[in-house]
Amino acid sequence: MNGKEPYLKVDNLTKYYPVGGGLFTKARGYVRAVDHVSFNVYPGETVSLVGESGSGKTTVARLILRLVEPTEGSIVFNGVDLTTLKSGELRNIRRKIQIIFQDPYSSLNPRMTVYSMLAEVLLVHRIISREKITEHIEYLLQLVGLNTDAMYRYPHEFSGGQRQRIGIARALAVNPSLLVADEPVSALDVSVQAQILNLLMELQEKLHLTYLIISHDLGVVRHISDRVLVMYLGKIVEEAPTDILFDSPNHPYTKALLSAIPKPDPSATLPKLLAQGEPPSPVNPPPGCSFHPRCPYATEQCKNETPPLFRISETHRSACWVFANTPEKTTV
Amino acid sequence: MFRKSYNPHSYWNTVWREFNKHRLSLFALIVIIVLGLIALLAPFIANDIPILLYKGGQLYIFPNVITYSDLQAENLYANFDRWQPSDGDWMVKPPIPHGPFRQNLEHSLQSPNRIHWLGTDDRGRDVLSRMIWGSRLSLSVGFVAVGIAVIIGIVLGSLAGYFGKWVDTLVLRFIELMLVIPTFFLIITVMAFLPPSIWTIMIVIGLTGWPGVARLVRGEFLKQRQMEYVLASQALGLNNTRIMFRHILPNAMGPVFVSATFGLAGAILMESGLSFLGFGVPPPAPSWGELLKQSQGYVDFAWWLVLFPGLAIFITVTAFNLVGEGLRDAMDPRLR
Ligand SMILES: Nc1ncnc2c1ncn2[C@@H]1O[C@H](COP(=O)(O)OP(=O)(O)OP(=O)(O)O)[C@@H](O)[C@H]1O
Ligand SMILES: [Mg+2]
């Protein structure tokens, strides 16, 4: 990874949503959905973004796809800054980045057959000539493991897993090189989850794709990712290669997430380690380290000063005053 | 492998099944269909020009809808009421053998009798015949006006809902403005200045009828625009016009149909009201509202000019409203 140019370079990416106030009245405050987030994704790797609900993961995905306007920051993809592009130029480049959504029920237009859905993008972007279109749609469906007779059916005729495959086929139709998957399996039955994850890994190999995978489930992440970014209240609090993150996590929040893995009940995300359960509101984030109200190790400094992302090693970064800023970095 | 059997129209099938459960709405739909047939077949139901005519050894088929030049030359079309078949000639007249325009001042303001089942108006024209022909006018004004309103409403509503921000604010202000102005008085004012014609009425009712549709479409677009299939289309680089009209609109049409049905009732009522006040379709065109108007101003109150056209208006408007309600219930949110 080192020495290579990043394929996607996200720099100080920020999205504040105004709350209260209308078009002519001033907002009463801001939801800091994404707050100065920076990270790189290198060609061919799989990076995961994990965090609790409301930490801003979906907003990051939508910012990268330019479905949401950033408040601040830049997104450089393959050397081109997407945030400064005009809509015309954007349309051609954004095709290279595609997204897979969480909800396989709302991500497909209920009034369109699989054929018309796929044919539309293929024709609009002149990816294939009209005569070869059926053949190409068959190829795409086979690629994602569906029967070719799925083509003339409507979304409601499929199961969740099959719909997710259709969503993947649609994303692949425009020949993307970076795939952002926002909780691609969290809406699916456990038995189907593994199938979809395996499909994603097969496709990565076959089509040389780069992945940014968003998940709140560290079990999913461990299985497929090369590196992990941990997000909390709009900020990245830890970044490390998957093995390192799971073997020697640094940030207390990461540790809390890890200790929650074996729990089958997904609602019990933050057990034992943490006294208070609920994450604070992103409208008025606590001063200092935003995790301090829930952190058993919090000091005076944590309450007043926002920690930067400290470098623990070449590949490992963590935003913690207590564990990352001290000389003995290998605590735990 | 698939959960349900292949059926491309399952949404409308479900709506139809649900609609069928509403007996009253179903009945209202039948009333509307019958009314539509009456309007369509008016020349065959109420006319003094025969359906078939055998004259001078020649058979004329449907002279009531086809103008034959030799009959025209004899000036027969204007005088069929007085024409008596000579030897060997015969004709088949429609069940109500009175033309809607045929005046007979000697028979004016007759109450219902054997010849004129629903009486006559102030010029001796047959009321039933005029009502049957009037259904054409009412329905066509309704459909064209609602068509105009729906098109404007869809365009403005989808722009507002999809783009939001200042476009939305602008459209919303426009809608509010339209809702504040009493439409009926606006229309009367406008009609007072414009040359009276059926087209003016259709256009004016249509131009004032869109805010309801626009609001509905806007609401649907606001909802749909957050859906992931719309975001996917944007990420795939499809342009906004395509996303709005090919992807979102078909998913937003349900409420539009419902509102159009209610709109039809409103437009028909509006046309009758305008004709009643004398701002409607210019005479001698037959209109239900115009018949109502004639009932006034006579020493002897012509009750048949109130009762029958009034009933026609009431039944039509109620039928459209009932169908609208049935449709609204049948399309209940759980389907979407
Ligand atoms: N359009 C919006 N307007 C206002 N606030 C928003 C909007 N979208 C997201 N937010 C807020 O931004 C924060 C981050 O939301 P986001 O959906 O990115 O979180 P997430 O990590 O994806 O959560 P989840 O796991 O629930 O999907 C939340 O507090 C959310 O309420
Ligand atoms: Mg999310």
A67 and B231: CB-CB below 8 Å?
yes
Domain ranges of chain B: 128-335
Mutate which of A57, A67, A183 for ligand 1? The one with the most ligand atoms within 8 Å of its CB, which is A57
Residues β-bridged to residue A74: A11
Sheet containing strand A8-19, edge to edge, reads A29-41, A8-19, A72-77, A80-81
B251 and A97: CB-CB below 8 Å?
no
Residue A331 banded pLDDT, cuts 50, 70, 90: very low
**Length of chain A as a residue count:** 332
3-state secondary structure chain A: CCCCCCCEEEEEEEEEEEECCCCCCCCCEEEEEEEEEEEEECCCCEEEEECCCCCCHHHHHHHHCCCCCCCEEEEEECCEEHHHCCHHHHHHHHCCEEEECCCCCCCCCCCCCHHHHHHHHHHHCCCCCHHHHHHHHHHHHHHCCCCHHHHHCCHHHCCHHHHHHHHHHHHHCCCCCEEEEECCCCCCCHHHHHHHHHHHHHHHHHHCCEEEEEECCHHHHHHHCCEEEEEECCEEEEEEEHHHHHHCCCCHHHHHHHHCCCCCCCCCCCCCCCCCCCCCCCCCCCCCCCCHHHCCCCCHHHHHCCCCCEECCCCCEECCCCCCCCCCCCCC
Query: Which residues, 6 or more positions from B43, have their beta carbon under 8 angstroms from its beta carbon?
Result: B49, B64, B65, B94
A23 and B242: CB-CB below 8 Å?
no
> Tens digit of pLDDT for each residue in B12-35?
788 888 888 888 999 999 999 999
Ligand 1 nearest-atom number relative to CA A231: 21
The 8 Å CB, 24+ separation contacts for A183-187 are A183/A57, A183/A58, A183/A102, A183/A214, A183/A215, A183/A216, A184/A100, A184/A101, A184/A102, A184/A213, A184/A215, A185/A215, A185/A220, A186/A102, A186/A215, A186/A216, A186/A217, A187/A102, A187/A103, A187/A104, A187/A105, A187/A160
Q: Whose CA is nearest to atom 4 of ligand 1?
A: A17
Ligand 1 nearest-atom number relative to CA A58: 22
**Length of chain B as a residue count:** 336
Q: Whose CA is nearest to atom 6 of ligand 1?
A: A17
DSSP code of residue B110: P
Residues β-bridged to residue A48: A213, A228
Q: Which of A101, A124, A156 sits opposite B4 (nearest CB)?
A: A156
More confident residue, A90 or B90: B90
Pairing of strands A210-215, A178-182: parallel
| Residues A94, A66 contacting (CB under 8 angstroms) | yes
pLDDT for the residue B5? 42
pLDDT for the residue B215? 93
The helix-helix angle for B127-163 and B165-180 (nearest 10°) equals 150
pLDDT for the residue A21? 61
Residue from A204, A206, A205, A199 nearest A184 by CA = A199
Residues β-bridged to residue A11: A74
Q: How far is the CA of B322 from the centre of ligand 1 (A)?
A: 43
The segments of chain B whose pLDDT lies below 50 read 1-6, 335-336
A121 and B2: CB-CB below 8 Å?
no
> Tens digit of pLDDT for each residue in A230-253?
999 999 999 999 999 999 899 999
Report the C-alpha gap between A69 and A62 in whole angstroms: 9
ipTM over 0.90: no
Ligand 1 nearest-atom number relative to CA A282: 29
Q: Which of A103, A111, A147 sits opposite B250 (nearest CB)?
A: A111
Q: What is the CA radius of gyration of chain A?
A: 21
Sign of CA dihedral B115, B117, B123, B125: negative
> Tens digit of pLDDT for each residue in A37-66?
999 999 999 999 999 888 999 999 999 999
Nearest-CA distance B202 → chain A (Å): 33
| Residues A257, A218 contacting (CB under 8 angstroms) | yes
Residue from B289, B334, B333, B329 nearest B18 by CA = B329
User: The tokens of B33 are what?
Assistant: 């269909």
> Tens digit of pLDDT for each residue in A190-218?
889 999 999 999 999 999 999 999 998 88
Mutate which of A55, A100, A220 for ligand 1? The one with the most ligand atoms within 8 Å of its CB, which is A55
pLDDT for the residue B332? 67
A120 and B8: CB-CB below 8 Å?
no
Q: How far is the CA of B325 from the centre of ligand 2 (A)?
A: 38
Residues with CB under 5 A from ligand 2 (ion): A 58
Q: Which of B166, B229, B250 sits opposite A107 (nearest CB)?
A: B229
> Tens digit of pLDDT for each residue in A20-31?
766 566 667 888
Residues on chain B touching A101 (C-beta within 8 angstroms): 228, 231-232
Report the C-alpha gap between A21 and A277 in whole angstroms: 30
Return the number of CB contacts < 8 Å for A and B. Answer: 81
Ligand 1 nearest-atom number relative to CA A102: 27
Least confident of A162-166, A237-241, A273-277: A273-277
Residue from A89, A77, A12 nearest A43 by CA = A77
Report the C-alpha gap between B288 and B199 in whole angstroms: 17
Q: What CATH fold (topology level) applies to the domain B128-335?
A: MetI-like fold (1.10.3720)
Among left, alpha and beta (phi > 0; psi -120 to 50; other), residue B301 is: beta
pLDDT for the residue A23? 57
pLDDT(A329) > 50: no
Report the C-alpha gap between B121 and B127 in whole angstroms: 6
pLDDT(A145) > 70: yes
Task: Share the mean pLDDT of chain A.
Answer: 86
Distance from CA of residue B82 to its chain's centroid? 34
- The B-side interface with A (CB below 8 A) comprises 1-4, 6, 8, 10-11, 165-166, 169, 227-229, 231-239, 242, 246-247, 250-251
Q: Which residue of A has its CA nearest to B6?
A: A153
Q: Which residue of A has its CA nearest to B4?
A: A157
> Three-state SS for B52?
strand
A103 and B228: CB-CB below 8 Å?
yes
Report the C-alpha gap between B130 and B114 in whole angstroms: 17
Report the C-alpha gap between B334 and B336 in whole angstroms: 5
Nearest-CA distance A158 → chain B (Å): 6
Residue A332 banded pLDDT, cuts 50, 70, 90: very low
pLDDT(A10) > 70: yes
pLDDT(A330) > 50: no
* A86–B contact, CB cutoff 8 A: no
Element at B60 (helix H, strand E): strand B58-61
Look-up: residue for tokens 């256009």?
B203
